[in-house]
Amino acid sequence: MRAARLIKMVLLLQTRRAMTGAELAAELEVSERTVSRDVLALSEAGVPVYADRGRSGGYRLVGGYRTRLTGIARGEAEALFLSGVPRALREMGLADAASAARLKVSAALLPELSDAHRSAAQRFHLDAPGWWQPPQEPPPHLPALADGVWDDRVVRMRYRRREAEVGGTSRAARPRGREVEPYGLVLKAGVWYLAARVRESGDLRVYRADRVSGVEETGQRFVRDEEFDLPAFWEERSAAFARSILRDKVVLRLTPAGTRRLRYVTDARAAEEALTTAEDPGTAEETEETGEETGAEEETGDGERHGGTGGRVTVVLAVESLDVAHTQLLALGPECEVLEPPALRARFAEAARRMAAHYGPGADAGAPSDHR
């Protein structure tokens, strides 16, 4: 432990030229007295550490001394590629390895490039969670899963599916647990997922890390499929999952403004598919039937172009449920007309009636409203 600390002290002084005892103590997480003892030990070992006395004094290396102890270990090199994702490093237990790797790289750089890591950190940052999501505690077994991923080690895992536990001691579980080959970890919108191959079936599956209730090492290693592509696998599975939850369909008639806004209030992929296969009702037929002029839009104070019967399209949209569709599509207001199913159209008609009661001619802003 002390040897690693001494090496880190030399690398710090090599990178930053001069540091006070307090600065070194903070970086090494020790007391200033320990720093003094470590400096003495380095001097006795032949490392030319010089102490400047006085208020502005500190420690520095004499004569441009440079150590060659900059070899990066495999784990440090792997962590270095994730150094732009500090939260991910902390949650997987790799923050120390990444810090050591960055320090070694800095020490190996030319003097004029020694501040490269600080320069990059000041300019780029990745904030993975979505907006308005409070910080979540990392999954308790994430470090163990990460160890299995890094070292290609088979683990025995217990996993909860809602109320039931798979691989544990519940009635539907197998007592010995489920052995998996952890292939990769994905951080999606602040949630960790594990991509793993089930040893019994050979299937590649995705598990939420926060539903893992236990991880045990088996002492076995697995041979990783070199053709496995984690980003491609995740893209395919996430798209399949998004499609699987869209179990219902609704038919809508959209104005041009509604067409533009649809992807922002519903599933983006479903909206794109619906608009790609949209049917144009035909402006000529619409004009003949309604007697209204088509192709015209009215511009309101919000800068959007609304209204008109022209340019409207009919789409079939996949939705999670009619309740979800009702909530989402209300955001489109008059730019969306629900045609099918009749039950959802009736709910929108009722919502329109209640809105008219609030805002129609003669409505009293102070009068009680109907909250049925």
Residue 233, classified by CB atoms within 10 Å of its CB into exposed (0-12), middle (13-18) or buried (19+), is middle
How high is the pLDDT of residue 294? 41
How high is the pLDDT of residue 59? 86
The stretches in the chain having pLDDT less than 70 are: 1, 3, 54-56, 64, 66-130, 132-133, 135, 162-177, 279-310, 363-372
DSSP-assigned letter for residue 201: T
How high is the pLDDT of residue 344? 95
How high is the pLDDT of residue 246? 85
In the β-sheet with 313-319, what is the strand arrangement from edge to edge? 313-319, 248-254, 336-340
112, 131 Cβ separation under 8 angstroms: no
Provide the token pair at 351: 């919502």
Instruction: Tell me the torsion sign for CA atoms 122, 123, 129, 134.
Output: positive
pTM above 0.75, yes or no: no
116, 109 Cβ separation under 8 angstroms: yes
Instruction: Tell me the torsion sign for CA atoms 350, 352, 355, 359.
Output: negative
pLDDT in tens, 190-234: 788 999 999 989 999 999 998 999 999 999 999 998 889 998 999
98, 89 Cβ separation under 8 angstroms: yes
Instruction: Tell me the torsion sign for CA atoms 266, 272, 277, 278.
Output: positive
Q: Where are the alpha helices (DSSP H) in the chain?
A: 2-16, 21-28, 32-44, 74-80, 86-91, 95-108, 116-123, 142-151, 230-244, 256-265, 268-276, 283-290, 322-329, 342-359
Name residue, tokens 């600080």: 118
How high is the pLDDT of residue 129? 65
